[in-house]
């Protein structure tokens, strides 16, 4: 708990002068002071509704996050609404803040987070849960939602919020899906409640939120368990609260060109560039991919919409690099035209373009070539995800070995020197052999590359991530691989590569051990009982769990033993246990639009090694999203092929419009 | 003309440097916590945003022609930091000042821009005038100052990337002045006294930074302020004698202005 030292402050008053005293003693103080270009500060009293938005990781990771930047701007554009940002503080500052009674603060106007009406948290990963607890505690907000009174309403969003059960005791509400319209709806409900004198107190407003059917308020649902530890059912405990909660889906991306004024952090961040989201959703149907499943259907931004956002963003920020962001950027229906037009526009400038795409095909190489016309061709990334053709059918990643070899050959002959390949380990039905084939593949890549490029200094880096089964995917029923087996498989792979005399030196390998994946698995598919584990881990010092130097597996396991004591279930039960179709999953009442039967059939197809196609180009497979949510796929072509060059802007600093030679005389006369 | 579009003449990146401009900027308030690298990134982005016709170096990975002078340490505010840039068209220094200032976040402020004359700029920066706002009884500051001035040599330690280094801080210290009547920002919150100390420090190698001077005040003068000392660089420039005993730090742009 924070000390009482600052309790005489007025609501919304800055705590900067207290914080400032601590900053000379912490690492990279710039991350705590805000002041970014395009940041907004408003008068506290000019707003009815005050939002604190948190990305629960360090500033360097959180500040570039698009989700938070979008919501920040959408909210601040509203009349009488104020939104500020807050990030996780590193342990050095946390200690000093506790010693000096400085509360969790926003970086915009350095207000105490406890003063706000709402605290919205953006979870792209479950590994931010413990950082949320630190922030709540530093803010003086009781950790448990049922002990809060006039404290902020704590709302979780982002991908991890599709199963918020493990954090249900710490949050007041969760939002599934796109946040733009959601935050506006919440704002209106909360505004009405505040202006009406807060009828019904905290419960009153939470009930209003829950009644919408698209905001999940865990306290209005009871979970009943079977004797064997499985869930029996999840039932609303209020008459007017719906049984199921649906996700938000923003349909017209062109109508929401956010962020319009991207933030330009002073501190160095993980993404030193501007991002323009070119579409949402992905229907490739990779069975391990939660993002692909929960963000359906595909909704594209038009080529003109993209070009306008790029140009406007560059003018407002001065960034040198633009990333065209999405789940699988090369899949935009007009991507070739987008790339060519943007490359033309910015060819003679210092602006560079990048397209995070991992598609394994020659088209992807063409795009990368286009975007790096006069730049350096260092590394290109592809994601076959599985080492053997068999396992790729299981995960529905339809890439043949020939495709891959053809693709990398094209890349090496176009001058790329390093090809990065992404894989997963621990996939359902996987054997050692499937993983060992990664080595074979890398070897073939180098062999083909040496021939294609005629050089021996080319490289191939394989990066291997541990597979974690996620809610709302066909693999939600799968058993996760235990960490011992993961480690042994990876060891064998490493040995196979190391022992390869001919190619071993040209192949780099990067992977993590299997332990963190188990904790992620527990948090991903956990239910309400996992909440105690999180709290106990946090009390034992867990912070920044996404950072290997802060993560401790042993701490989590000890905390799990303690936290799950008496429940009859344990970490293995949540992670390495396969589920049956009939089992009530903790997130069954949360509707991502996917039809449970379709998911199950897809899981069965996976086990029989049957692949499905992308519904953008082939007939609909009835995943349920479009029906259920009354949405539809929105893809081009728009018919626009060539964009006009942007209007030339006259530099404002030249001495005169006349030729340079006259310039010197002009100065004298001015 | 709308700000929404950008003018990037096709050959700008290949164009030669036509003019050199010298910028004086300030690092104020909370942005004093920005590091030199933070400022570099911010300036490069601001130059693009303000559409300053920058000259670029040749080569595979061209970078804008900018040269920085000794920058104030992270956490120290400054009214007098200097940068020189090369541009490919004759620019109006006042317009550059205005546009660039607007393109930078408030707190990183462009104070003045002049057309460069002479290439000896680095030599003009002989010394700095630092202001230290010290929360401590005035008497203690006075006696610490006296103790430092009385010492011929004061070895202080500083943690650098290469490990701990010790050097003589006294060698850089030229003059201390206790300022009366002026109130520092810290006095606003702390009525029980904040002493304003002006320190003139010569730029020598290894450089003596304000925290080294404060370390010296602590070491030989026993001065332990109650709060972190807030330091601001007020001026940087040629060292000159004001009268028989008092030094002053001049304006390094004087020479540019005279030639203009
Ligand atoms: C850029 C990026 C990164 C960057 C920058 C991260 C950042 N701070 O932005 C870097 C490289 C650092 C990164 C790292 C990681 N990432 Co990443 N990343 C992405 C990527 C490509 C874009 C994110 C983005 O900006 N999306 C667009 C915005 C608009 O969407 P959004 O953030 O989800 O926000 C919307 C909604 O979710 C909602 N919302 C969000 N927050 C809130 C809050 C409230 C209160 C409300 C109401 C609504 C709401 O509203 C927003 C607008 O609609 C996504 C893929 C993608 N296209 O989403 C992967 C993705 C998010 N990352 C992912 C992963 C796994 C990671 C890592 C864990 C990887 C690793 N193993 O290290 C780390 C975790 C880092 C961390 N600690 O947070 C996964 C998430 C896993 C999942 N849920 O299935 C994704 C989906 C990629 C994928 N296909 O697997 N990542
Ligand atoms: S291509 Fe596959 S892995 Fe990538 S976002 Fe789409 S479904 Fe997910």
pLDDT tens string B111-146 = 999 999 998 899 999 999 999 999 999 999 999 999
Q: Which of A468, A563, A593 is nearest to A524 (CA)?
A: A468
Identify whether A266 is part of a domain. Answer: no
pLDDT, residue A293, reads 96
Q: How is residue B213 written in tokens?
A: 């001077």
Q: Which CATH number belongs to the domain containing residue B228 in this structure?
A: 3.30.70
Non-local CB neighbours of B34 within 8 Å, separated by 6+ positions: A30, A266, A267, B27, B42, B74, B108
Q: What span, in angstroms and rounded, lies between the C-alpha atoms of A175 and A155?
A: 7
Q: Is the distance from CB of A66 to CB of A132 less than 8 angstroms?
A: no
**Is there a contact between A52 and A103 (Cβ–Cβ < 8 Å)?**
no
> Do B109 and B145 share a domain, yes or no?
no
Query: What ranges in A414-482 are assigned the alpha helix state H?
Result: 432-453
A419 has a pLDDT exceeding 60: yes
What does DSSP say about strands B155-160 and B163-168: parallel, antiparallel, or unpaired?
antiparallel
In a domain, B13, yes or no: no
Q: How many residues appear in chain B?
A: 260
Handedness of CA A363, A366, A371, A377 (dihedral sign): positive
Please give the pLDDT value at position B183: 52
Q: Is A459 in contact with A506 (CB distance < 8 Å)?
A: yes
Q: Would residue A468 count as lying in a domain?
A: yes
Q: Give the C-alpha separation, A84 to A41, whole Å.
A: 8
Q: Same structural domain for residues B136 and B214? A: yes
Mutate to test the pocket of ligand 2, among A292, A474, A615 (most ligand atoms within 8 A of CB): A292
> pLDDT tens digit string along B80-103?
999 999 999 999 999 999 999 999
Query: What is the predicted ipTM?
Result: 0.89
List the single residue in B with minimal CA-CA distance to A661.
B90
Q: Does A435 map to a domain?
A: yes
Residue B257 lies in a domain: no
Confidence band of A6 (pLDDT split at 50, 70, 90): low
Q: State the DSSP code for B181.
A: S
Eight-class DSSP state of A153: E
Query: Residue A176 Cα, ligand 1 centroid: separation in angstroms?
Result: 14
Same domain? For B108 and B128 the reply is: no
- What pLDDT shows up at residue A483? 98
**Does the beta-carbon distance from A272 to B12 stay under 8 Å?**
no
* Distance in angstroms (rounded) separating the CA atoms of residues A538 and A517: 18
Largest CA-CA distance found in chain B, in angstroms, rounded: 64
Q: What tens digit of pLDDT does each residue of B160-210 get?
A: 888 899 999 999 999 999 987 655 444 444 445 689 999 999 999 999 999
CA dihedral A31, A32, A38, A43 (to 10 degrees): 180
Q: State whether the beta carbon of A284 lies less than 6 angstroms from ligand 2.
A: yes
Q: Is residue A260 in some structural domain?
A: no
User: What is the pLDDT averaged over residues A129-140?
Assistant: 98
Residue B9 forms part of a structural domain: no
Residue bearing tokens 């202080």? B156
The domain that contains A312 carries what CATH number? Answer: 3.80.30.20
Q: Residue A364 CA: which ligand is closest?
A: 2
Is residue B139 located within the same domain as residue B104?
A: no
pLDDT of A464 > 90? The answer is yes
What digits encode the pLDDT tens for the residues A484-503? 999 999 999 999 999 998 99
Q: Do B105 and A647 touch (CB under 8 A)?
A: no
| Same domain membership, residue A431 and residue A321 | yes
- State in Å: Cα A294 to ligand 2 middle: 11
Give exposure, A144-166, as e/b (b: 16+ Cβ within 10 Å). ebeebeebbbbbbbbbbbbbbbb
Same domain, A582 and A472: yes
- The domain in which residue B27 lies consists of 19-116
Q: Is A292 in the pocket of ligand 2 (CB under 6 A)?
A: yes
Q: Which residue has the tokens 């719906």?
A: A242
Q: Are residues A208 and A120 in the same domain?
A: yes
| Domain presence at residue B69 | yes
At B260 the pLDDT is: 66
- Contact B181/B195 with Cβ under 8 angstroms? no
Do A295 and A355 lie in a common domain?
yes
- Residue A282 CB less than 6 A away from ligand 2: yes
Same domain membership, residue A323 and residue A401:
yes
Considering the domain architecture, whether residues A149 and A296 belong to the same structural domain is answered as no
Residues A235 and A277 in one domain: no
Whether residues A663 and B50 touch (CB distance < 8 A) is answered with no
| Residue A129 and residue A49 in one domain | yes
Closest Cβ–Cβ partner in B37, B75, B92 for A655: B92
Question: Which domain-ending residue is among B89, B116, B143?
Answer: B116
Residue A456 lies in a domain: yes
Tell whether B2 is covered by a domain: no
Residues B56 and B167 occupy one common structural domain: no
The percentage of residues in chain A with a pLDDT greater than 70, rounded to a whole number, is: 96
Ligand located closest to A358 CA: 2
Q: How far apart are CA B10 and CA A349, in angstroms?
A: 7
Ligand 1, closest atom to CA A290?
Answer: 84
Specify the number of domains making up chain B: 2
- Measured CA to CA, the distance from residue A270 to residue B22 in angstroms comes to 32
Quick one: which atom of ligand 1 is closest to the CA of A280?
A: 57
**Residue A646: its chain B contacts at CB < 8 A?**
5-6
Residue whose CB lies within 8 A of the most ligand 2 atoms, among A289, A332, A361, A394, for a mutation test: A289
Residues B60 and B36 in one domain: yes
Name the residue at shortest CA distance from atom 2 of ligand 2: A286
Same domain, A227 and A359: no
Find, in chain A, the residue whose alpha carbon is nearest to that of B63: A350
| B107 and B171 belong to one structural domain | no
Q: Per the CB < 8 Å rule, is B33 touching A320?
A: no
Which residue on chain B is closest to A669 by alpha carbon? B92
Query: What residues of chain B lie within 8 A of the CB of A108, using their CB?
Result: none
Task: Look at residue A646 and tell me if it is in a domain.
Answer: no
Separation CA A529–CA A168 (nearest Å): 10
A286 lines ligand 2 (CB under 6 A): yes
Residue B113: strand pairing partners: B23
Angle at which helices A401-413 and A432-453 pack, to 10 degrees? Answer: 30
A213 and A286 co-located in one domain: no
Using the Cβ of B4 and the Cβ atoms of chain A, whether some distance falls under 8 Å is answered with yes
* Closest listed residue to residue A396, CA positions, set A613, A616, A604, A578: A613
A246 part of a folded domain: no
DSSP classification of residue A599: H
Q: What are the residues whose beta carbons fall under 8 Å from the beta carbon of A661, sequence distance 6 or more?
A: none
**Are residues A296 and A391 located together in one domain of the fold?**
yes
Of B116, B145, B163, which one is at a domain's C-terminal end? Answer: B116
Q: For chain A, percent helix, then strand, then coil, each to nearest 5?
A: 40, 15, 45
- Nearest 5 degrees, angle CA A107-CA A108-CA A110? 65
Residue A398 CB less than 6 A away from ligand 2: no
Stretch A15-19: mean pLDDT, rounded? 96
C-beta of residue A55 within 8 angstroms of C-beta of residue A125: no
Pocket around ligand 1 at a 6 A CB cut-off: A 57, 61-62, 64-67, 70-71, 120, 122, 124-125, 127, 155, 157-159, 175, 178-180, 182-183, 270-271, 277, 289-291, 325-327, 470, 546
Q: What is the pLDDT of residues A281-295, one digit of tens each?
A: 998 899 999 999 999
For residues B136 and B207, membership in a common domain is answered with yes
CA distance B241 to chain A (A): 33
**How far does the centroid of ligand 1 lie from the alpha carbon of residue B87, in Å?**
40
Q: Give nearest CA residue, ligand 1 atom 35.
A: A67
Out of A587-601, A633-647, B29-43, B158-172, pick the least confident: A633-647
The Cα B130–Cα B119 span in angstroms is 26
For the record, the structure tokens of A468 come out as 């974690």
The model's pLDDT over A371-387, given as tens digits with 9 standing for 90+, comes to: 887 677 778 899 999 99
pLDDT tens-digit series, residues A524-545: 999 999 999 999 999 999 999 9
Do A229 and A278 belong to one domain? no
Quick one: which of A480, A485, A489 has its CA closest to A519? Answer: A480
| Whether residue B225 sits in one domain with residue B242 | yes
Say what the alpha-carbon torsion angle A151, A152, A157, A163 is, to the nearest 10 degrees. 10
Domain tally for chain A?
A: 2
> Average pLDDT, whole number, for chain A?
93
Which among B12, B23, B41 is the top mutation candidate for probing chain A, defined by the most A β-carbons within 10 Å of its own β-carbon?
A: B41
Q: Is B108 found in the same domain as B192? A: no
Distance from the alpha carbon of residue A323 to the mean position of ligand 1, in angstroms:
14
Mean pLDDT of all residues in A116-123: 98
Best CA proximity match to B213, nearest among B116, B141, B139, B107: B141
Q: How confident is the model at residue A602, as a pLDDT?
A: 96
Which range (A27-36, A341-350, A374-383, A547-556) has the least confidence? A374-383
Residue A572 in domain: no
Minimal CA separation from B89 to chain A, in Å: 6
Task: Report which protein residue has its CA nearest ligand 1's atom 24.
Answer: A66
Looking at residue A363, what is its pLDDT? Answer: 83
Taking CB atoms and an 8 Å limit, are B30 and A34 in contact across chains?
A: yes
Picking from B51, B59, B71 by the largest number of A CB atoms within 10 A of its own CB, the best residue to mutate is B51
**pLDDT tops 70 at residue B10:** no
Q: Residue A397: give the domain boundaries.
A: 273-513+578-629
Atom 17 of ligand 1 has which residue's CA nearest to it? A124
Q: Tell which of B116, B132, B166 closes a domain.
A: B116
Instruction: Say what the pLDDT of residue B119 is.
Output: 86
- Is there a single domain that holds both residue B169 and residue B209? yes
Q: Which helix (H) or strand (E) holds B229?
A: none
What is the domain-level CATH number for residue B40?
3.30.70.580
Report, in this order, helix, strand and coil percent for chain B, each rounded to 5. 30, 30, 40
B63 plus B107 within the same structural domain: yes
Band of pLDDT at residue A648, cut at 50, 70 and 90: low
Q: Which residues pair with A325 in a beta bridge?
A: A277
Query: pLDDT at position A662, please?
Result: 41
> If pLDDT is split at 50, 70 and 90, which confidence band does A638 have?
confident
């Amino acid at each position: 708990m924070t000390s009482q030292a600052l309790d005489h402050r007025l609501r919304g008053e800055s705590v900067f002068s207290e914080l400032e005293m601590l900053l000379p003693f912490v690492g990279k103080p710039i991350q705590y002071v805000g002041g970014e270009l395009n940041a907004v500060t408003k008068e506290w009293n000019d707003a009815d509704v005050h939002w604190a938005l948190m990305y629960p990781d360090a500033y360097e990771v959180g500040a570039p996050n698009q989700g938070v930047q979008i919501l920040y701007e959408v909210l601040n554009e509203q009349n009488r609404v104020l939104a500020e940002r807050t990030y996780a503080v590193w342990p050095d500052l946390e200690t000093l803040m506790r010693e000096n009674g400085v509360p969790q603060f926003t970086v915009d106007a350095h207000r105490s987070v406890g003063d706000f009406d709402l605290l919205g948290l953006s979870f792209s990963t479950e590994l931010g849960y413990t950082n949320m607890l630190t922030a709540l505690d530093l803010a003086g907000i009781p950790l448990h939602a049922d002990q809060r009174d006039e404290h902020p309403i704590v709302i979780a969003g982002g991908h991890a919020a599709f199963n918020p059960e493990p954090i249900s005791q710490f949050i007041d509400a969760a939002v599934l899906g796109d946040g733009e319209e959601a935050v506006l709806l919440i704002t209106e409900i909360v505004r009405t409640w505040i202006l009406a004198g807060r009828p019904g107190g905290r419960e009153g407003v939470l009930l209003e939120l829950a009644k919408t059917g698209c905001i999940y308020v865990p306290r209005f649902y009871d979970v009943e368990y079977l004797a064997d530890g499985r869930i029996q059912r999840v039932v609303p405990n209020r008459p007017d609260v719906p049984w199921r909660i649906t996700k938000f889906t923003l349909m017209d991306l062109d109508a929401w060109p956010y962020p319009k004024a991207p933030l330009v952090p002073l501190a160095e961040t993980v993404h030193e560039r501007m991002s323009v989201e070119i579409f949402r959703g992905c229907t490739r149907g990779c069975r391990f991919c939660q993002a692909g499943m929960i963000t359906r259907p595909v909704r594209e931004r038009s080529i003109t919409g993209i070009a306008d956002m790029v140009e406007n963003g560059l003018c407002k920020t001065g960034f040198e690099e633009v990333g065209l962001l999405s789940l699988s950027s090369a899949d935009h229906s007009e991507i070739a035209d987008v790339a060519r037009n943007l490359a033309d526009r910015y060819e003679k400038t210092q602006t560079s373009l990048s397209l995070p795409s991992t598609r394994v095909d020659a088209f992807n190489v063409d795009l990368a070539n286009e975007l790096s016309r006069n730049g350096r061709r260092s590394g290109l990334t592809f994601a076959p995800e599985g080492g053997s053709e068999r396992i790729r059918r299981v995960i529905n990643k339809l890439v043949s070995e020939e495709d891959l070899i053809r693709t990398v050959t094209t890349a090496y002959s176009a001058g790329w020197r390093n090809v990065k390949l992404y894989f997963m380990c621990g996939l359902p039905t996987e054997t050692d052999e499937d993983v060992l084939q990664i080595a074979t593949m890398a070897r073939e890549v180098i062999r083909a590359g040496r021939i294609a490029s005629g050089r021996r200094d080319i490289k191939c880096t394989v990066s291997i991530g541990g597979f974690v089964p996620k809610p709302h995917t066909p693999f939600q029923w799968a058993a996760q691989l235990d960490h011992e087996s993961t480690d042994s498989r990876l060891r064998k792979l490493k040995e196979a590569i190391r022992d390869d005399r001919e190619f071993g030196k040209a192949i780099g390998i990067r992977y993590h051990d299997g332990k963190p994946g188990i904790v992620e698995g527990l948090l991903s598919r956990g239910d309400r009982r996992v909440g105690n584990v999180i709290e106990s881990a946090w009390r034992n010092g867990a912070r920044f769990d996404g950072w290997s130097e802060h993560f401790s597996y042993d701490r989590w396991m000890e905390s799990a033993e303690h936290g799950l004591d008496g429940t009859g279930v344990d970490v293995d039960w949540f992670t390495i246990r396969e589920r049956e179709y009939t089992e009530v999953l903790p997130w069954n009442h949360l509707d991502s639009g996917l039809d449970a039967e379709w998911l199950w059939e897809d899981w069965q197809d996976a086990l029989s090694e049957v692949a499905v196609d992308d519904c953008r180009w082939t007939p609909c497979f009835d995943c349920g999203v479009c029906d259920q949510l009354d949405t539809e796929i929105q893809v081009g072509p728009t018919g626009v092929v060539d964009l006009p060059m942007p209007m030339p802007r006259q530099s404002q600093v030249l001495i005169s419009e006349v030729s340079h030679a006259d310039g010197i005389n002009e100065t004298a006369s001015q | 003309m709308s700000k929404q579009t950008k003018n990037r003449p096709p050959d700008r990146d290949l164009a030669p440097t036509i003019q050199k401009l010298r910028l004086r900027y300030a690092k104020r308030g909370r942005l004093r916590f920005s590091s030199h690298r933070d400022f570099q990134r911010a300036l490069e982005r601001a130059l693009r945003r303000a559409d300053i016709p920058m000259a670029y170096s040749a080569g595979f990975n061209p970078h804008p022609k900018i040269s920085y002078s000794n920058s104030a340490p992270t956490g120290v505010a400054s009214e007098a930091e200097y940068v020189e840039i090369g541009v490919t068209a004759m620019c109006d220094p006042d317009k550059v000042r205005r546009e660039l200032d607007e393109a930078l976040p408030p707190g990183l402020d462009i104070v003045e821009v002049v057309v460069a004359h002479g290439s000896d700029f680095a030599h003009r920066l002989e010394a700095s005038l630092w202001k230290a706002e010290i929360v401590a009884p005035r008497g203690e500051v006075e006696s610490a100052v006296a103790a430092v001035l009385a010492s011929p040599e004061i070895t202080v330690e500083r943690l650098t990337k290469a490990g701990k280094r010790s050097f003589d801080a006294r060698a850089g210290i030229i003059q201390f002045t206790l300022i009366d009547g002026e109130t520092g920002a810290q006095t606003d919150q702390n009525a029980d006294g904040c002493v304003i100390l002006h320190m003139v420090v010569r730029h020598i190698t290894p450089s003596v930074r304000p925290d080294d001077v404060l370390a010296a005040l602590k070491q030989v003068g026993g001065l332990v302020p109650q709060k972190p000392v807030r330091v601001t660089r007020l001026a940087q420039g040629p060292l000159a004698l004001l009268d028989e005993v008092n030094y002053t730090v001049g304006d390094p742009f004087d020479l540019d202005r005279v030639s203009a």
